[in-house]
Chain A
């Protein structure tokens, strides 16, 4: 279907006020799609990529609008991204996530789009999954079990199952993201390469480090845009965890990122370029995270 100023597809519109009501609606409308900010779904409807019989807009659910920073970060699935961008504590403590949100598209998109929507759309190039993975986040998923609202939790890295697909079963909603509070001796960073700043990433890197003196006590790393889902760079993590920090050691270790990724050629970049750049931005993300953890990183 050609892109035009109109949406020609027909669907019914539902706007539940509570989580239970939303889940009941979804259970009764198997052909429905969940609508949050609409910045992905409405384009997919317009271009005919999806043709739902109904949309269920979840922006009014108080259960999905929670935004708490005390004792770890809790962000409801329907919290718009600008709220994360404007929260000073996010920049200070959950730096990689804050950088990813700021790097995401435009002010207009961040005003409309939600964190849950960015995750559920499950683009391999999306910006927010990597930081959530390295910060150790969990997804809280809500569904109906014997007519009652039931919740389950999934580690962020296991949330994605392929391009555009997640562990969410039909009728389930991504209720919230829970991120443990990083200790004082930690630092994180997110970097992306795009053609222009508005674009989605050709390849992105997220790093989280905990420092113990001159050593890296904990290392978690993720790459976006270079595999069917965001992936952890486990080989690199294993080499660096528990070792004394040195730039040379980081330079050497990041070459192992190749075993974690399987990039393709697409509209945004080539597999070759992604293979060349993944270790470079991963190195830069690690060095930045180390400095933020209070470590010295010689130039």
Chain B
């Protein structure tokens, strides 16, 4: 089946199999390897990407089912510019990364939160990141980083 799919603002026309998962299409065919394969069962969130701005699990999504839709992966999180997203800066500054395997999914889930709620509480952040497991950091740095990124994004918005 032929589908069109927009990934990080770029439209692709692709021949896909009905049983092909979005995860594998992104990683193997579009070389967007920032999206990770973790548990394969919808527990860990390493494969999180944004579908029209909302977090989904690419390892539980048939590529054909997102035909015509728009996907954002970690590679596209900073937009057109070559710089980093405030979340990426904050994750580095706050030491929210150890092995880094969960980080792409974590940042995308956090982005979806901050795009809807510019000033989230710790509980809001925990609720939004409940589906992203980190086995290294203990989450403390991650929650500080999301708060720090929220502050950066709010002050960038205020003229």
Contact = CB atoms under 8 A, between A and B. Distances in A.
Interface of A: 3-13, 15, 35, 38-39, 42-43, 45-46, 55, 57, 59, 82, 102, 105-109, 111-112, 197-198
A3 B131 contact: no
Interface in B61-89: 61-62, 64-65
A10 B19 contact: yes
Given A107-B55, A111-B51, A111-B55, A6 B21 contact: yes
B39 to A, nearest CB: 8
Contacts of A106: 45, 130-132
A82 B54 CA distance: 10
Contacts, number: 90
Given A107-B112, A111-B54, A112-B56, A55 B37 contact: no
Given A13-B1, A82-B54, A107-B128, A112 B18 contact: no
Given A5-B40, A43-B60, A109 B131 contact: yes
B19 A7 contact: yes
A170 B8 CA distance: 41
B24 interface: yes
A10 B131 CA distance: 29
B18 A108 contact: no
Nearest to A111: B54
Nearest to B112: A107
A39 B55 CA distance: 13
17 contacts: A3-B39, A3-B41, A5-B40, A6-B21, A11-B19, A13-B1, A13-B18, A35-B65, A57-B62, A107-B130, A108-B57, A109-B42, A109-B131, A111-B51, A111-B55, A111-B56, A198-B130
A9 B19 CA distance: 7
Nearest to B42: A39
A150 to B, nearest CB: 28
Interface string B127-141: 110111000000000
A46 B42 CA distance: 12
A4 B42 CA distance: 12
B59 interface: yes
Contact of A5 (B24, B62, B64, B112): B24
A15 B18 CA distance: 11
Contacts of A109: 42, 57, 131
Q: Would you list the 9 A-B pairs with minimal beta carbon distance, nearest first?
A: A106-B131, A13-B18, A7-B19, A5-B37, A111-B54, A108-B131, A108-B55, A108-B57, A3-B40
A94 B7 CA distance: 38
B11 interface: no
Contacts of B23: 5
B28 to A, nearest CB: 10
Contact of B109 (A9, A105, A107, A112): A107
A43 B54 contact: no
Nearest to B20: A7
A38 B59 CA distance: 10
B22 to A, nearest CB: 10
A108 B48 contact: yes
B43 interface: yes
A11 B64 CA distance: 12
Contacts of A46: 40
Given A106-B131, A107-B130, 17 more contacts: A3-B40, A3-B41, A4-B40, A7-B20, A7-B21, A9-B19, A13-B1, A13-B65, A15-B65, A35-B65, A39-B60, A43-B41, A57-B65, A106-B130, A106-B132, A107-B109, A109-B131
Interface string B32-51: 00000101111101001001
A42 B40 CA distance: 10
Nearest to B51: A111
